[in-house]
Chain A
Amino acid sequence: MALSREMSNEQAFELVQTLLDGPENRFPLTFNSDLPRIRELFHAATRNQWDPKTDVAWDQLDPDSYTEEQRSAARLYWSRRAWSEYGAISESPVLQVRFGVEQRPSDMQLFFTIRSQEEARHAEVCHAMAERLGGYIDKPVQNLFQGSVATHGVRRAALNANIPLEGIIAALVCTAEEIAFDVFRHLDDVTRDPVAKQVVRLIMRDESRHCAFGWYFLEAICETLTDEQKGMIEESVVTMMEKVELNGYHSSWLAPESPASLAEVEADRITYEAGLGSTVEEVEKPVFIGTVQRIREQMKSLGINLPMFSHPKLGTI
């Protein structure tokens, strides 16, 4: 059944064959650390937990020092970031289920337990920012923008036994998360409000581990991959780039031009100029291009060759 904005009160469902359709078989059960670098990420995350309620200097945020227009734009920006982080709350766990069903190294499951919690923290802190700036907004101002922020499609892919996990991780983690991480690093440079900057840094610290997970995993398995399998990974990354990233998932200015996306871009500009946490096309563009080029180089060293990508605002990168 296709997803529709006009769904009836009776919630839609779909009948799908998934890799969950066989009986569970958890034995022999092992918790050996087959991927010790990923186990260490789990331990590092355990050591570096933080709490949006107590570890952010909320009293330093002074909404009254900003204009009504700036507060309004910033609350939309932080609401949109909350939607994006929320997406990970529902998509990170489904990958964890897959790790278990496929009996992947336990390090992956253990790390993802805390990764999902970190995504919850991120959603919580972004929601808190939006609330303090005038109130969280619970949906895109214009429905047309939903297509750019609603979902990666990861959940469906993660349950599909015909889509290799390696491709999902390469696309979701080594590509999308890597882009997100570089955006956060860039935001740390351009954000002036002390609380917005602190929030950006706290999220960025977690995201660095999320990215490392993906590369550690790919590096561990790349020598076992056939050319055909590498081709499938390339296809997954291309899909993530073309259908998600270049469609404006992380950067509104990349979304197809429409009244909805233009409104989001304008809100981003006002937020950026206020130093409250967003960015704009002209300063983010070189960061985005640099990230894509770095991902291409890093994947090339693993035998995964990405093509060039084209976008009206980026040219061919």
Chain B
Amino acid sequence: MQSANIKVSPPPLSLLVERRFPLEMNVTLPEIRELYDSGKAGRWNPHRDIDWNALSADGYDETTRQAARRTWSRLLWIEATGLTETPALIVRFCMESGREIDPKFFLTVRNTEEAWHIECFDRLAQAFGGRIARPADRAYENVFNRGLYRRVLDSNQSLDSYVAVHAAFEDGLELELCRTWRSNATNPAVAAVLDRVIGDKERHAAFGWLYLASRAPHWTDKERQLIASELAVHIQGTELRGYHCPWLAPEHAAVEAEADAITAAAGLGAASRGAEEDTLADYVGNARTRLAEFGVSLQTFETNRMRTF
């Protein structure tokens, strides 16, 4: 019998105690219920709905194949976050009094879609030479080991702020990056995978922003400041450390950044540094505008790796 290979250390987790009844199950957030319904209606199957024969991985040279396996392995490391984060988010919604049924339903579909993405990314990495189990530089691992599942279960963490950072902002950024990769993809199987992933991530991002819109009218100034602060911490501590864009963190992600450049040149699912920089800067600008409508003021960010955004 396997035991948790985890060193338990204080402080203990502050868990909410569920009060289940009365259990509201009628629709209260119709636009989010519609995302749930469209997710069910748009169900797909990675093994049936992608023409994997069109990948023709053997048609690429060894350098390109090695780069592509690393690119898709890294995307797998990112997507794997959902296997623990999304279920923890569902639990948090269930345990916090008064949270609506529609997000709970929606998130179960989101998690299945994340599992399908994982199957696709894994299959791509395997086809190009095999999944790579960890970053080339162990220091880069810390960027992925964010412990989001624990953070969202902690009652000291504001759920609205969590949704703002991770379901609205972060999922929205992933969507825009996927679109950028797709526009640069020439391999038909890679393009088909990204088309499916984009279709799903459009709903994932929409969920976050719609949920914020439903909650924002009730926020206090203090809550708005908290959200702004947690967004800034995320961008500085995760995005600028190369979580989505390894070229932002050459001190520990140079190998992954180099692989992405080769993968992008081959049309196998990445994009050039310049294209990703434009996407990131444009997205943050648009997010800043949307957040301002909710009374959240997102600061500007400076780094010597890209223009101020």
**Chain A positions near chain B (C-beta within 8 angstroms):** 1, 3, 7, 11-31, 42-43, 46-47, 49, 51, 53-54, 82-83, 86-87, 89-90, 92-94, 96-97, 100-104, 106, 109-110, 112-114, 116-117, 119-121, 123-124, 127, 136, 138-140, 146, 150-151, 155, 159, 161, 164-166, 221, 224-226, 229
Contact = CB atoms under 8 A, between A and B. Distances in A.
Contacts of B8: 17, 19, 21-22, 161
Interface string B86-117: 11101100111100000011001101101110
Given A16-B13, A101-B84, A225-B1, A26 B145 contact: yes
Contact of A27 (B22, B41, B134): B134
A3 B19 contact: yes
B40 A97 contact: no
B279 interface: no
A27 B1 contact: no
Nearest to A52: B40
Given A82-B23, A94-B87, A109-B84, 12 more contacts: A17-B12, A20-B153, A21-B6, A26-B144, A46-B116, A89-B94, A90-B95, A110-B118, A127-B25, A139-B21, A150-B21, A225-B1
B299 interface: no
B23 A139 contact: yes
Interface stretch (B52-60, B62-70, B75-83, B264-272): B75-83
Nearest to A110: B115
A3 to B, nearest CB: 5
Contacts of B147: 20, 23-24
Given A20-B149, A29-B76, A138 B43 contact: no
B135 A27 contact: yes
B17 A3 contact: yes
A14 B17 contact: yes
Interface in B22-74: 22-26, 37, 40-41, 43, 45-48
B115 A114 contact: yes
B83 A139 contact: no
B215 interface: no
Nearest to A126: B25
Contacts of A22: 6-9
Given A90-B91, A90-B94, A20 B150 contact: yes
Chain B interface size, as a band, is 35 or more
B3 interface: yes
6 contacts: A3-B18, A89-B104, A89-B108, A90-B90, A102-B5, A113-B115
A41 B97 CA distance: 34
Contacts of A102: 2, 4-5
- The 5 A-B pairs with the shortest beta carbon distances in the complex, nearest first, are A93-B87, A90-B94, A28-B133, A22-B6, A100-B84
From B45, B87, B97, name the one whose CB has the most chain A CB atoms within 10 angstroms: B87
Nearest to B17: A12
Given A31-B118, A43-B47, A97-B88, A53 B4 contact: no
Contacts of B258: none
B266 to A, nearest CB: 24
Interface of B: 1-26, 37, 40-41, 43, 45-48, 76-77, 80, 83-84, 86-88, 90-91, 94-97, 104-105, 108-109, 111-112, 114-116, 118-119, 122, 131, 133-135, 141, 144-147, 149-150, 153, 155
Contacts of A24: 145-147, 149-150
Given A21-B13, A97-B149, A151 B20 contact: yes
B133 A27 contact: yes
B15 A16 contact: yes
B40 A51 contact: yes
Contacts of B14: 13-15
B121 to A, nearest CB: 9
B64 to A, nearest CB: 23
Contact of B83 (A11, A20, A109, A124): A109
A234 to B, nearest CB: 13
A103 to B, nearest CB: 7
A29 B134 contact: yes
B19 A7 contact: yes
Contacts of A96: 83-84, 87
A12 B47 contact: no
A119 B21 CA distance: 18
B12 A15 contact: yes
Nearest to A22: B6
A158 to B, nearest CB: 10
A116 B90 contact: yes
B133 A11 contact: no
Contacts of A226: 1
Nearest to B73: A29
Contacts of A14: 14-15, 17
Given A29-B133, A30-B131, A13 B23 contact: no
Contacts of A138: 21-25
Contacts of B22: 138-139
A21 B9 contact: yes
A38 B5 CA distance: 23
Contacts of A124: 105
Nearest to A165: B2
A90 B149 CA distance: 14
Contacts of A53: 37, 40
Nearest to A43: B47
Contacts of B2: 102, 104, 165
A235 B135 CA distance: 42
Given A27-B133, A96-B83, A139-B23, A161 B6 contact: yes
A232 to B, nearest CB: 8
B115 A101 contact: no
